[in-house]
Amino acid sequence: MNTLADTGQKKLHVEFCGLEFATPLVLLSGCVGFGEEYTRVTGFSNRDAGAVCLKGTTLEPRLGNVPHRVAETWQGMLNAIGLQNPGVDKVVDEILPALDFSETRFIANVSGSTVEEYAEVTRRFNDSPIDAIEINISCPNVKEGGVAFGNDPDMSAQVVAACRAATGKPLITKLSPNQTDIADNARRCIEAGSDAFAVINTLMGMAIDIETRQPVIGNNQGGLSGPAIKPIALLRVHQVYQVCKPHGIPIIGQGGVTTPEDAIEFLIAGASTVGVGTALFYNPLVCKTINRGIVEYLEKHSLPNVGALTGSLSLHGDGNSPCFGG
């Protein structure tokens, strides 16, 4: 059957920043457009996903990068879309009213090139029916020579503080893995007012056409997602969880989730919910399989719900071995 029994469905219920999610699965930004592209897929049920993150939105419309924008790699995918979107006014005034908010929770994804742009886009979403707001701090800061906001704790905190002042809705900070100390960045973002984290965003990578000796991606480099990044994402979730646990701050763990076992690993590492992205491109109904597998695992181990798994990782020794390899 494609639907879970009511008892199994109850085990999947999660509270995230005061919002009730039907399941711990969150469909990630950039993978399902502005929501309606996915919710109209034949076979979709409002019990499949606890929330849907909308496509990254900026203040003004953006055409995005030159092609190629997407390239498949071994166990992964590179993308450099360039935040193509119609601008926040159109999203709020035309797209959001067409969504069925009874289907699932919808989370806006805010992007920008300046702190002021982040704050203004957040302010526009604050006056909308959107359930929560995710801040994509992996964008380049044009005032600082293109350095990504998310790779500098000071800039990350500035963006979070500005967005916090612009909204009373739950604020989720999407952390970049392309930085020196993700735990310290998370700490700074908590101090600035972040209610939750999405861990992780894509890693930067490249693919090369050996015949032309040029990058496959028109932007030369792109964000790597898919199963190839899962081990890195799991470690980052574990590291951020150590900072979040004392504050009761939840994490959306994401990066290469394709199976129930992947999702369970992220929950054990410290995630409260689990993001599904790249897998949707080749199996739009993968959430059904993942949800069913999570329920089977909970029942096998006599666990009452998903929350009993979160942060249940037991480390070997002190868990802080300083050396790797040879």
What domains sit in the chain, N to C, each tagged with a CATH number? 6-308 (3.20.20.70)
Contact 246, 279 (CB under 8 A): no
Contact between 209 and 171 (Cβ < 8 Å): no
* pLDDT tens-digit map of 113-155: 999 999 999 999 999 999 999 999 988 766 776 678 999 999 9
DSSP string, 71-129: EEETTEEEE-----B--HHHIIIIIGGGS-TTTSEEEEEE--SSHHHHHHHHHHHHTSS
Beta bridge partners of 252: 198, 273
Q: Residue 38 above 80 pLDDT?
A: no
Residue range 82-96: mean pLDDT, rounded: 97
Residues annotated as catalytic (active site), given as ranges: 139
Task: Return the biggest CA–CA distance within the chain.
Answer: 58
* Measured distance CA(80)–CA(177) in Å, rounded: 16
Nearest Cα to Cα of residue 258 among 282, 236, 238, 239: 282
pTM for the structure as a whole? 0.95
Residue 193 corresponds to which amino acid?
G
Between the alpha carbon of residue 202 and those of residues 23, 150, 230, 233, the distances in Å are 23, 12, 11, 9
| 38-47, 48-57, 235-244: least confidently modelled range | 38-47
- Whether 323 shows a pLDDT value over 60: the answer reads no
Cα–Cα distance for residue pair 133/136, rounded to 1 Å: 10
285 C-beta neighbours (distance < 10 Å), count: 14
**pLDDT confidence of residue 1:** 45
Tokens for 37?
Answer: 């592209």
Task: Give the integer Cα–Cα distance in Å for 289 and 280.
Answer: 12
